[in-house]
Amino acid sequence: MVNRRGRGELESEVMAALWAAEGPMTAAGVQTVLGDGLAYNTVQTILIRLLEKGVVKRAPAGRGHAYWPVQDAATTAADRMRAALDGRPDRRAVLQQFAAGLDAVDASTLRSLLEERDS
Q: What is the pLDDT of residues 90-106, one digit of tens each?
A: 999 999 999 999 999 99
Question: Would you place residue 6 in the very low, low, confident or very high pLDDT band (cuts 50, 70, 90)?
Answer: confident
What is the CA 102 to chain-centroid distance, rounded? 20
Fold exhibited by the domain 9-69: Arc Repressor Mutant, subunit A (1.10.10)
Residue 26's H or E segment, with its range, is strand 25-26
Q: What is the pLDDT of residues 33-72, one digit of tens each?
A: 998 789 999 999 999 999 999 999 999 999 999 999 999 9
The set of residues, in sequence order, having a beta carbon less than 8 Å from that of 62 and lying 6+ positions away, is: 26
Taking only Cα atoms into account, the Rg of the chain, rounded to an integer number of angstroms, comes to: 18
The structural domains of the chain, with segments of one domain joined by +, span 9-69, 73-118
